[in-house]
Each structure stands twice: as C-alpha cells, then as structure tokens.
Structure 1
C-alpha cells in the first residue's frame, strides 16, 4: 500500500520535524496570535532603528523580521524565542563591512546579504556536526548574570523614549543615563504621561487577570493617550514621538549580486559574525527556557538559526538571531508554541500593508514602557539572593557576567562568564578531597568516618593511615594531592602504610598514575606499603596501561575493607603493636599485646538496619 500524507510514518516524520505540534490547540492558537501581534508591533521601530545601525536602508530591518523569524521558529528548538534584527548584530555587521564598501550603497547591501548567507551556512554546519554541546558550558549562574545584565540594558536604552529625549544615535546605555541627567530640563512630559499610563494599565490588567492580553491592552491605552495629546494640542510644544512612516514589509527575493570569487575573503567576517549571532541566540534561548522550563536542543537551535539566515539572505534580510527584546515579551504575553513567531511575521506584513498610517502613530514612549516592564521582570532578585546564600563563587560568576554584559558586547560577556565558570570548576576539581578515616567509636556499626565529621576527637592507628580519595586525580590535581600525601607522611612518620579508599576516585590520567607510583616508591623506601580499596574500572585500566599495576602487585588491591585490614595489619610492626593502646580495629586483638589492651567500646545502642554492617563497613571488636 502506498503511504499517504496522513499515514503513521508521515505523522511521525512531521512530529520529529515539528515536535511542538502536539501542543497546538484552539486555546494556544489564540494566545499565540495575541503574542504575535505584540511582537509585530514591538519590532516595527526596532527593525527600522537596527537597520540604520547596520548601515542599511530602513526597510531591511523590517524584512529581517519576516522570513528569518518564521524559519528560525519552525526549525529551531525554542517555543518562545523570536528571531530578527538585533543591535549587536547590526553594529558588528557595520563594523566589519564599512571598511569594505560604502554603507547603504548597492555594493554594501549585496555584501551584507552574501555574508548573511555565509553565516547561515556556518551556523547550519555547527548544528549538523552536533557541536551544540558546547552550549552546555554556559552555566545557570552565567545565564542569570547575562539575563540581569541584558534586562538592565533594555531598561536603560528604553529611558530615551520613555522621557522623550533626543539622544544622539549610537549612544551607549550609560550614555543615555548621563544624557538624561545632563539634559533633564528637556524631558518630554507628554512622553512620561504616555509611558506612565501604559505601565499602569498593563499592571492593572495583569493583576485583574493574567489571561488577558495585558501587554497589548497597555500598549493600546498608551496609543490612545498619545493620540489625544498630539491631536488636541493639550501637550503644547511637547509632541509625543511616534514610530513614523513604515516602509513595505514584503521582502523581495533575489540572489545577492556580488563577485563570488570574493567569498573566501568574506569567510573571516562571516566566522566572526557567526560567533556573535550564535552566542546571542543560545544565551537568549537558554535564558527564556530557564523561565519557561522548556528543554533546549542546542544543535536544533543552531540548525534553525542557520536555515533562517540562509533563507534571509535570499529574501533581502541581513543577519538575524534571537532577540531578547521580543522573546521575553513573547513569553510574558503567553506564547505557547513557535506559531507566535510565525504570526508575528505574518501580522507584521499585514499591518504594514493595510494600516501603515495607523501604525505610524504608535508612541515610542508606550513601547519603552513595555520594555521597562519586561526588564523589571527579567531581573531575578530572588534567584540572585538564593545563589548568594548557597555559593559565593557562583554569585561572583553571576555578578561578573552581569558587569561584563553592561560593559562589553553581549556574546563576549557570555564567553567571559563561561570562562569564569570553567576556571572555578577547574579550581574545585584541582583540590579533590583527601580525608583521613577512622572507625567511629560512637557509632554502633563502627563505620569508617572522616576525622572532621566525628563528634569528638578519636585516635588513628599509629602505623596504618586510612584515606578516602574523592574526585578525579588528573594533571591539574596531582600537585595538590602530592602535597597532601607528603604532609601526611611528614606529620606521622610511623604511619608507613597507607590504605586508600578509592571507590570515589572517579578518574585518573597518566599524571595521576605517575603520582601514585611516586607514592609507592616513597612508602616502600621507608619500609611501608601502599594499598587500595575498590578502585574503579577506569582507574584499573589506566594502571594496567601505564605499568603501575605490575609494580604495585594485584595483592595490594582489595574488594572489601575487612579483607584489606586483615591482610595489612598482619604486616605491621609487632613491637609497635605490643605497646599500642589504640586498638581501633577488631584485627588488633590478634596482634601482640592484644589480650592485655582493652578495645575501645562503643556505647550500648540497639542495632538497627541503618547501623548494621554492610560489605563496605568494618566493625571493631
């Protein structure tokens, strides 16, 4: 039988291609449509402004919010990320192409579209080669710092339109604040009124019912107030700035008209822009997912971004990626599936085509108020406080990323935060726990317990040192462990024998194996020995490959503590045992002087399942 479009195989293929299909219901379509309408309205001024930053005609910013937005949503991983033009991409593109061609010229536009397609090819290759796992090194603390920093930037940049300031193009976020203080007398009171009304109506609507499209309601309220102020003359000379004339939103199709021999020369530019775009996209996707609880497939996200830029280059769009300014409002507005992004793009075309004169009157102050509200919601004070209480290191990483996000480019801030996380991780793993153990006399089961966890000081065996090794013994940790072992040999020279409990030593490399070989030589040179309890398979294999196993001897590796102690204690010095009154092991009863020296007694406590012996514990007599 020939498979049809509705066959199980076809449905399975569609599900794999669009895994969010099962979430689509009439209710989600309604919320996605409302969120899409908000996204379309928000991108109008942004698209025009960002295209100008990129050195392109204004309509290219609108084009970039159409085809790339649809393709990235359908083939990406995130349900809420909206792709389109961003300020970072725009500035990076202008910085890299302006030395090659005059900004705004036909040659410049053709180069911008060609570089966009090359960026898409590189992004697609990253996803297809499954290199998205690199995104796993962006820790939650880095994401928190990045999100809070990006929220701060969104809020600071929004001040310009919220107060109706004529800030020069290209002014930094803190430059906007400085301009506000230096030119406070020029604040547009009408813009402040529009922004305040927009915020108030939005907050009241959200408090009344979160099911309402509260952000759209607030935007409409600001629109109405601005219309009244601008047409009635009540505002006097303080006119409320509006979006203004909007160019056509229908992106024309065409292959970039360039000399394709120059493609190799453009690859360097494309590679740099790929890092910028992917850094932003995955950071924003993970930041939104942190709030929505969605699992992000980094490889699929990169594939979606790659396809969107390849298609975008053919439809007069320049480099796009996830936009935090639209993604967070999209999530807050109740978007449930990627169809919200599709609706946003389609509604943008319809709105610009049908009602361009009305849309031209959208007040910039109302849009700024929306962005201020989103920025406040992004700043997660509770999570920052929780991280500060749990880990000073993670808190420092979050704060460092936050400061970097404010001071340098977004993708470089994420990279810096990731480097800080990796340095902190390497520092922690370079200091694995090396803990001295004794059978706890206060425990009915006489369990082996680290000295620092005992309720009272207890003695160790004068000849045998018990250590628990926790973590990986790799090249970065060798010096620390070597120093600890040397210090232990120095503190008690009579403890010539060492039994290492290594079931928690989860990894070892060549440097680690050489470290244990050096320890073996040191121990045997003083007449002692080195023994191991339950090393892992990987550790044993490494010892076999390096020859350490042959030097150590298989009889120095034990599956149980009881067997290890029974063997090792028999080799201890009888003279020292005869004078010993510690006797912390039951095997000590069979050593010289064992009959006269009383064993330390544990308090009489009823044996329970929690305190009974297991194969991994040893009970003293």
Structure 2
C-alpha cells in the first residue's frame, strides 16, 4: 500500500517540527497562490473562482498520492493557456458549456495520467527532449504575455498565436481605456521591481533574510490590495475599468464532467498533450527539489498523483492542473518538509474561498494580467538557441522550429510539433550511429579508434565498434558501412563487430546481420562478434543466426584479435 499511498511512508513519522515548518510554508504559498489562482483562471477563460477551486481538492489528493515533499500542485500558466486554446475551438468562452468542457478536459487528462502511472509508462515523457520543451515554454510565455495585453489596456482582442494576437491588439488599440492601462502598467512595473529591487532595498534597511524573503514573495498581494482599494475608492469600475466582480463565497462545489462521446473525442488530443506537458513540467521541478535533500521521486507514482489531482479538479469545478515551478520553489525555500504543507495550503485557500472572496469584487483584471505577465516572462529563455547552436545544429533546428511553430500556429500545433520533432531527432541521431574502426593500443589489451590513437592493426582483420543499439532505423546504415569498408579491400578475411555498446538488437537489425553474414560469405570473409552483452546473447541464442554465422563469438575483443591473427599466421 505504501507504494501507491506515499502518505503511509511519511505520515507515521510526522513530527511537531515538521508541522511548524509545513504551516509556515503553507502560509507563504497560500498568500502567493490566491492572486495566481485567480489570474490563471482568467488565462484559461474561466471565472476567477475556478482558479481557487482548482487549487484546493487537487492539492489534497496530491498530498495523499504524490511522492514529492515540496511540489505545489495547481493551475499553471502553460497548462492554462493550452486549456483556453483547446476549449475555444470547441465551445464559446463564457458559456456553461465552456466550464463543463474544462471539467471534462481535466477529467480526461486525469484518467490518462492515472492509466500511465498504473501501467508504469512514466518513460513516455522521455520522448520530449529538454531543448524542445525549453523552446515550447519560451514561445508559450511570449504568447501568454501577449494575450494579457488586452487586459492591461482594457481592449477586446483575441488570437491563439502571436501574429493573430498582435493584429487584433493593433486593430483594437483605439479602444484603450487609459485608466486601465495606467493600472496595468504600474502594476506590471511594480511587480518587476519587487522581483529585482525590493530585496536589496529591504536588506539596506536592515531587514532580516527571513522577513525579506516573505515580503518579496508576497509582492503580488500588495498590488492586489492597492489596486482593489484604488478602484473601490475612486469608483474606477464606472469609468470602464474591468473588474473581477462577484465571486461565489463557497467551498468548491461538486461537479460532473460531460460524458458526451463527441466532446470527449474532440478533447482527446488536447488532453494527451496537456497530460504530457504537465507531467514533464511537474516531474522536472519535483526531481530538482528532491535532489537538494537527497530524496527520491517515483515518476510512475507522480503520474498517479497528478492523475488523482486532475480527476479531483474535474469533480470540484476546476480545470487541468499540474506542479507549478514558482510556487514549488517558494514552498521548498519556505521550509516545507512533507506534502502536508500542500494540505495546509488547501485549507488556507478554502478559508479564502469562504471568507475573502467579497474583498476581491473590485480587483481589476489588469492586475491579474500583470501578475501573469511577470510570472511567465521569467520562463522566456532565448539562450537555449545559442546553447543548442553551439552544441548541436540538429537540436538548434528542433528548438527553433518548435518556437516558430508555437508562435505562428498556436500552442497545440507547437507542442505536437515538439513531440514529433523530439522523436524524429532521436531517430535521426540513432539512425546514423557512431561506428569506429578500432585497433589495439600497443602493450595493452585495449582497443581504440584508429583515427584518434596510434594503434596496431592487422590488414586481414577489420574490427568495427558500434556505439549504439541496433534497430530498424540504423540497421541499413551498418550494412552500408561494412559493405563500403570491405569492398575493394582484397586482404580482408575477417570482420569483427565489437558489441560492447550494443544493448539490444531488434528483429530488423537481426535480419540485417543475417544479410551482412551472407554478403561477407560470398566475399570469402568471415563475420565475428565480440563482447556481446548477456541479454543480447540470450536473444541471439533463440534464433538461427549464431549457427549460420561464418565466424565465432568471442568473450573479449583482445581474444578475438589474438585468435584471428594466429589463424592468419
């Protein structure tokens, strides 16, 4: 049971000191999460209260099923944007059908994550390369920031890619509400200053590190309070400033997603993409924070935890959630020791949903937009282009294509392209494996690349070391490599494949080895294998290849070279 309910591992050992640390972390994260939750609901095209609802029950469920001690689950920017992009193509924003579709999207994503966890499919996330993910998040950050400019300037603008958004913003620029723009620009500027300038100022004034950290992290709350008071005192809502308005004063309601086959079919692909992106973002944060305390994260159990959280969101008026980077880091830095900090955060948000929602009636949407812009611009990192260009042109091409397609065609196509490019990039790299011709280093039993080292070779023996597992994509490449090396080399009598780096040989590769063996036989050249790993040898023994092979299998490359040289002599 501990495997599927990690709370049974840390729960019995829960101590008073852990309780005090978790309570302090929960207080800080709750204060930070209130404006964030409201803002991300706005980004997803949902009422503000949906952000609070999506941050209560999902956190409680992750506390029970998750393995990370610091991960804070809830709405995040990229997943909220993907939610809006997916739903706006199906249902009109602002309608009851839109909210139901959001519930269905969360439920479908939760079921997918739960199934992947139960079937231990956490490795699926490995198909997304880090550079491609970085490119997608960078492009998404730009789109998110651009999408919030309509709230900053108080205008009506729409679009799911950067070009559409810019055109729409320019087209409606004359509708700008200058009071809204002033609030939005000042709020954005203040939040940027809080991130960069407030900490040095407080340190100069003599504040301790602890209180300084808390004040910096709660900067968005100050903006929320000040701008809400300004709108209320001066009646700015009567002058065209868009406000959050009435938010239900209640705990998350019990809701049911739609089970319409037609709707679920339309949501299938978006739910899968949201599940994968959400899991990749969550697991990367969880593993980074766990490593700092030498703790272990189980990716498959994380899938179960995130799946339960999303199913919980679908049943309590929320939308898709995952582990957030910024609040997880805040949770960790604030001293959270166990997932109970998340449960205390959920309690704090529940209290806020019951008692504080009337206070945000006059909260301007421009303030929430400023919160989103400042949060997502920290995700934008164009340095990945420079690093990938310097290291690998193929990686650079994949990153650039992901960024351009996300910006130009929208997040769904962008992330789909990212997944496809990651897989194609892997296939491309592994389809042309590094194959080195090796010789013996003098006075040793070691064999190295003849192009890099001064080695001893035998003109009648060619040894090729294949630095990759052999499968359908690279089998023909090996055939061509051996054919080109042996053709015209009249002295060659033996070809040795050094298999020290080969972890697997699939059926296509086995058929290629059989073809290589036959071609070499026709040339009066024998094929040998050396340093074959146990699992690979076990598979080969089940087939007829070893019986039909013209040469032998050697335990070591040194033994092969010595034996075949003596045959030549």
Q: TM-score of the superposition, structure 1-length normalised?
A: 0.73
C-alpha displacement of 1:506: 3.1
Match for residue 206 of structure 1?
199
Is residue 83 of structure 1 aligned with residue 74 of structure 2? yes
Are the structure 2 counterparts of residues 322 and 118 from structure 1 closer, same or farther at C-alpha, using a change threshold of 3 Å?
closer
C-alpha displacement of 1:397: 2.8
Runs of at least 5 residues in structure 1 that lack an aligned partner in the other structure: 1-8, 573-590, 592-621
Match for residue 555 of structure 2?
559
Distance 1:346 1:198 in 2: 27
C-alpha displacement of 1:190: 4.1
Report the secondary structure of 2:214's partner residue: coil
Distance 1:406 1:20 in 2: 49
Give CA-to-partner distance per residue, 1:229-252, whole Å, 9 cap, x none: 87469x999776543332233233
Are the structure 2 counterparts of residues 96 and 73 from structure 1 closer, same or farther at C-alpha, using a change threshold of 3 Å?
farther
Give CA-to-partner distance per residue, 1:160-207, whole Å, 9 cap, x none: 33x433133567554444445556563523432333233324432234
Indicate conservation of the 8 Å contact 2:116/2:303, yes or no.
yes
Distance 1:550 1:523 in 2: 16
Is residue 299 of structure 1 aligned with residue 300 of structure 2? yes
Are the structure 2 counterparts of residues 59 and 359 from structure 1 closer, same or farther at C-alpha, using a change threshold of 3 Å?
closer
What does 1:456-475 align with in structure 2 at a 5 Å threshold? 460-475=457-472
Count of residues paired in the alignment: 541
Runs of at least 5 residues in structure 2 that lack an aligned partner in the other structure: 204-208
Are the structure 2 counterparts of residues 88 and 344 from structure 1 closer, same or farther at C-alpha, using a change threshold of 3 Å?
farther
C-alpha displacement of 1:45: 4.5
C-alpha displacement of 1:296: 5.0
Is residue 38 of structure 1 aligned with residue 32 of structure 2? yes
C-alpha displacement of 1:29: 2.4
Larger Rg over CA atoms: 1
Indicate conservation of the 8 Å contact 1:472/1:505, yes or no.
yes
Are the structure 2 counterparts of residues 131 and 339 from structure 1 closer, same or farther at C-alpha, using a change threshold of 3 Å?
same
Is residue 104 of structure 1 aligned with residue 96 of structure 2? yes
Match for residue 244 of structure 2?
243
Indicate conservation of the 8 Å contact 1:285/1:296, yes or no.
no
C-alpha displacement of 1:415: 3.8
Match for residue 117 of structure 2?
127
C-alpha displacement of 1:393: 2.4
What does 1:307-326 align with in structure 2 at a 5 Å threshold? 307-315=308-316, 317-322=317-322
Match for residue 518 of structure 1?
515
Match for residue 153 of structure 2?
164
Question: Which deviates the most, 502-511 or 115-124?
Answer: 115-124
Q: CA RMSD in A?
A: 4.1
Distance 1:439 1:132 in 2: 42
Is residue 503 of structure 1 aligned with residue 492 of structure 2? no
Report the secondary structure of 2:465's partner residue: strand
Indicate conservation of the 8 Å contact 1:429/1:477, yes or no.
yes
Indicate conservation of the 8 Å contact 2:86/2:267, yes or no.
no
Q: Which has the higher contact order (CA 8 A, sep 6+)?
A: 2
Match for residue 154 of structure 1?
144
C-alpha displacement of 1:339: 5.0
Distance 2:449 2:12 in 1: 50
C-alpha displacement of 1:128: 2.4
Distance 1:193 1:127 in 2: 45
Distance 1:469 1:551 in 2: 21
Report the secondary structure of 2:153's partner residue: coil
Are the structure 2 counterparts of residues 548 and 122 from structure 1 closer, same or farther at C-alpha, using a change threshold of 3 Å?
closer
C-alpha displacement of 1:546: 2.6
C-alpha displacement of 1:136: 2.8
Distance 1:524 1:224 in 2: 84
Report the secondary structure of 1:508's partner residue: coil
Give CA-to-partner distance per residue, 1:418-466, whole Å, 9 cap, x none: 32222222222222333223345xx5548533221036xx885333323
Q: TM-score of the superposition, structure 2-length normalised?
A: 0.79
Are the structure 2 counterparts of residues 193 and 16 from structure 1 closer, same or farther at C-alpha, using a change threshold of 3 Å?
same
Distance 1:13 1:375 in 2: 32
C-alpha displacement of 1:285: 0.9
C-alpha displacement of 1:488: 1.2
C-alpha displacement of 1:566: 4.3
Report the secondary structure of 1:493's partner residue: coil
Match for residue 206 of structure 2?
none
Is residue 282 of structure 1 aligned with residue 279 of structure 2? yes
Distance 2:557 2:158 in 1: 73
Question: Which deviates the most, 558-567 or 392-401?
Answer: 558-567
Distance 1:42 1:81 in 2: 12
37, 42, 47: which is aligned to 2:41? 47
Indicate conservation of the 8 Å contact 1:437/1:448, yes or no.
yes
Report the secondary structure of 1:378's partner residue: coil
